[in-house]
A and B are shown apart, each in its own frame.
Chain A
């Protein structure tokens, strides 16, 4: 937020408003407005600034990025552009004149939308051979590089299940049994990414047509659908910190495998064990990718940045910042993760191409089946 961006504008109107804004504020306050990340440096080709466009959940440790800047000589500018879906859509809208050089945060549910729209150009990252084989996609063109993975799973409230002396569900099949009637809350598959992930998980488990029957049973068994993860997890779920305050009464919620460690890490004082757990066998794997944007102004810097994203330092920094798992072989995962929320052993997966072919139709069917 330097004043440089104001000076470079040519338009009269803009100059007037900027001057007035500056006058109203006092120039001192303006230049103090976060002198760090923004706009400093030029943006021509061969420039020393490289811009990463991502979604709002992108987070990192400052020092780790500093180390990259020192080593490579590039200055990194990070733009956060809304939630995951919005960020992808905006990147596609602006692909002719992108806002940055690298995009991080397109996941397997949206990957084909990005690829079909020509969002990325080919680049095989240095160190790509260290990426675990199961995460690799687009092997002939190398337009995207996997960066992290996470599991969307049903979480359960430990206290509730021990109090009611009920066994914890361990599969999609369990969730439609009478014992678990009116216990599950999930998110709208058309607006929420865990909601969509859960739907895709059932599609992977029961097949193209089978999932519809499954959801009919789930609906009959009293599944509750809310619009977003926030409402589901913080308001309806009985096991989360927010949900306890809101007197949530659903002991099962569709969330992430990393939610239980978060319940421990963000508690004060920290409990010995997580208050929630993950129902194995109800997980769907989400993988996030990064790619070099077509028409990137600083493609050289962008390549260096992608190399850094799959580098060990960044990979090991991710878990506690974004609550995701690394994708390269041999990256260490923090103890809190292995202790409170290990990655799912056998998550459901779907080929991105199959998701692309069916996603809109499935969501539409799901909406009329479950919401109407």
Chain B
């Protein structure tokens, strides 16, 4: 427990506190009056209002689109399901620079909607909402679908036999069991959309601003640290509240459900209605998720003979000192390091959280569970600038060290590791450990021979997720000064920042490569997951 706490203390809490304090303190005096000042401005209140309502609307829309998807993935067996499950997760780990470009191609001028019906949604709030659905579809499908697939369909069938209508059976039997999972997914989507940054900036145009965008502008462009600090505190409070509620629903979800093997509940669709549902879900995935990705691929191939891909291997124009393709290697190395860190920290945290102590210590430990998620809800610019002023003295002068990049990525990866590992670790029968200990095994040996074999698969899945998330991580990476070893998302952003056909094409080609690497990682994960059968792994 001490290690994860220290990790979050040093690499998250301390930097964030340092930059916030810098903003709120002038000449050694705290200026809490600034809070009222800032919150009194009508601009800021407008930002707060927009942040909240777009997050609510995005969450509702995501649930509306993704819940049928969750059902289809949970209950139906169809060809290509594994691949499709990986595909719908790709957007979740893609950097927003890439997605913004893809989405403009769908909703903007000359996009599909424009060509079919002459409708353009770019710079409207609809573009933001739809992109949020695109990003968070997987959250709902994985969280709700994961549980749904493990609910015993016989319970619903029993209700039908007893005379309940299909709807009544669903409402009275399945929905209550599913409720906490839906609530947990909704809260996660709300969290991600409440703190949305890239999507709002790229698709919304300058007229829309969320809290996170405003923090970025105040810190990075306007350099008004005190306003940024106040906004950071506001966002912190909001995210903390969301996470507290989330922690409660998750705990409710983990109790008192009779679950069955997911493999046994899915079957081929029957009847026109079910086929239509399947077709509808596949259609919505095709339009909302696959199409934007396909546009990127199409544009990356828009030069004869894979011209853009070939250009990636040349060292021309020296925007980077190395051929852009080297960014792939950089990204992989960083992601490996980040995964190792996330596994260590997340694994230790999950192990500590497994102890079902009651009393104050137990409650404290469970509170830490929620705290681990905080980095997902805190602005990357805050963390990045915080690193700069907090980690500047030996022994922790890490400011320009390469390790800062995987550390920042690991902050985002840890929550996923914990979420995946926790249910599995909790399912390990404590008596097994006790028996081993009684027979003379050291704690290390108990862990190695009892826990490890049972959680190995879950560990791999956690690693896969941490890896994919690290690959796509853009925010914190871009705010860290480093010698020139750009990661894939950073390289894409820089190529997009330059005029000229080859730069644009190479950005598209690199995005496609990033997408493929993520997709492969996620597909391997799917394989593992379906092999798992009897094991239970958590979802975020």
Q: Which residues of A contact B (CB under 8 A)?
A: 1, 5-6, 8-11, 13-14, 16-18, 20-21, 23-25, 29-30, 33-34, 36-39, 51, 53, 56-57, 59-62, 77-83, 85-86, 89-90, 92-94, 97, 99, 113, 188, 190-191, 225-231, 233-235, 240-242, 245-249, 255-256, 259, 262-263, 265-268, 320-321, 323, 360, 371-372
Contacts and interface: CB of A to CB of B under 8 A. Distances in A.
23 contacts: A17-B341, A17-B407, A24-B339, A38-B402, A39-B483, A78-B483, A79-B400, A190-B222, A227-B204, A235-B104, A241-B500, A245-B504, A246-B108, A246-B109, A255-B499, A262-B498, A262-B503, A263-B500, A265-B500, A268-B303, A268-B501, A268-B502, A323-B498
Contacts of A235: 101, 104, 108
B381 to A, nearest CB: 8
B403 A5 contact: yes
B401 A5 contact: yes
B10 interface: yes
Interface string B381-409: 00001001100111110111111001100
A93 B385 contact: yes
Contact of A225 (B206, B220, B319, B341): B206
A82 B220 contact: yes
Interface residue SS majority, chain B: helix
Contacts of A266: 317, 498-503
The 3 tightest CB contacts between A and B, nearest first, are: A266-B500, A24-B340, A247-B110
Contacts of B481: 53, 79-82, 90, 99
B403 A21 contact: yes
A80 B482 contact: yes
Contacts of A57: 494, 497
B219 interface: yes
A22 B219 CA distance: 34
A246 B104 contact: yes
Contact of A5 (B3, B337, B402): B402
Given A93-B385, A240-B499, A266-B502, A79 B339 contact: no
Interface string B332-347: 0100110111011100
B449 interface: no
Contacts of B496: 230, 234, 242
**Which residue of A9, A13, A320, A371 has the most chain B CB atoms within 10 A of its CB atom?**
A13
A267 B482 contact: no
Given A246-B110, A263-B499, A33 B336 contact: no
Contacts of A99: 388, 399-400, 481
Contacts of B299: 245
A176 B22 CA distance: 44
A25 B337 contact: yes
Given A13-B6, A16-B3, A82-B479, 18 more contacts: A1-B483, A9-B395, A25-B337, A56-B497, A59-B320, A60-B318, A61-B318, A94-B388, A191-B217, A227-B202, A227-B206, A229-B497, A230-B497, A241-B505, A266-B317, A266-B502, A267-B501, A268-B303
Nearest to B406: A21
A267 to B, nearest CB: 5
Contacts of A60: 318
B255 interface: no
B402 A1 contact: yes
Interface in B178-201: 201
A105 B299 CA distance: 33
A50 to B, nearest CB: 13
Interface in B468-507: 478-479, 481-485, 494, 496-505
Nearest to B341: A17
B223 A113 contact: yes
B105 interface: yes
A105 B343 CA distance: 39
Contacts of B6: 13
